[in-house]
Amino acid sequence: MSNEFKYFTYEEFNCQETGNNAMSIAFIHRLDELREKCGFPFTITSGYRDRTHSVEAKKKKVGQHVLGIAADIAVADGNQKYVIIKNAMEMGFGGIGVANTFIHVDDRKSVPVVWSY
């Protein structure tokens, strides 16, 4: 699978604390499709995270960012949240987290969930 994307560079998903990157290429292709459907620019505020990342180190279970199948997308307003959530659900993203300033999407294999922060 190509690591050329329409809307993203692979480096945008580097761990912000270590610079490492083990993001799933397939997942970024799905984000490309989500971005296309949404029709507005995405700023990725968090992509891949090493297990040692300060957020992940506190968790008992390995998080979706550590698995390379999660991203946080900055949002400017409630309409952007709505559009991302609608399209992410239609595309079958199994994890959707709704924060004030971003939407988390992931491709978890377990039962689908939505949460707020």
Which stretches of the chain bind Zn ion, using CB under 5 A? 72, 104
Nearer to Zn ion (CB atom), residue 72 or residue 107: 72
Distances (CA, A) of 88 to 18, 22, 105: 28, 22, 7
CB of 107 to Zn ion, least distance (A): 12
CB of 72 to Zn ion, least distance (A): 4
CB of 63 to Zn ion, least distance (A): 8
Distances (CA, A) of 36 to 7, 33, 93, 97: 8, 5, 15, 20
Nearer to Zn ion (CB atom), residue 49 or residue 87: 49
